[in-house]
Amino acid sequence: MTEIIYKEESYQIIGACMRVHSNLGAGFLEAVYQEALEREFTKCNIPYVRQQKLSLFYDGERLKK
């Protein structure tokens, strides 16, 4: 089994995700969970970056979006 490097941080993030899921349940669009998780992260003082832009490549070519 792989050792978790940032064990406490991982538990805090997973806990926040589980609270959002327990509260909202399934079936919403990603944007709903994103907003709820941002609020949970803020409440728990978990730093995050919203929708950071990434350069993605497929088969050696950069994807436009």
Q: Which domain holds residue 3?
A: 1-48
Contact yes or no for 13/46 (Cβ under 8 A): yes
How far is it, in rounded angstroms, from Cα 63 to Cα 57?
Answer: 5
pLDDT > 70 fraction of the chain, expressed in percent and rounded: 98
59 within domain boundaries: no
Domain annotation covers residue 33? yes
Residue 20 lies in a domain: yes
Is 31 within a domain? yes
Residue 65 domain-assigned? no
Q: What is the mean pLDDT of the chain?
A: 94
pTM for this predicted structure: 0.77
**Is the model's pLDDT at 1 over the cut of 80?**
no
**Nearest CA-CA partner of 47 in 13, 11, 22:** 13
Total domains in the chain come to 1
5 found inside a domain: yes
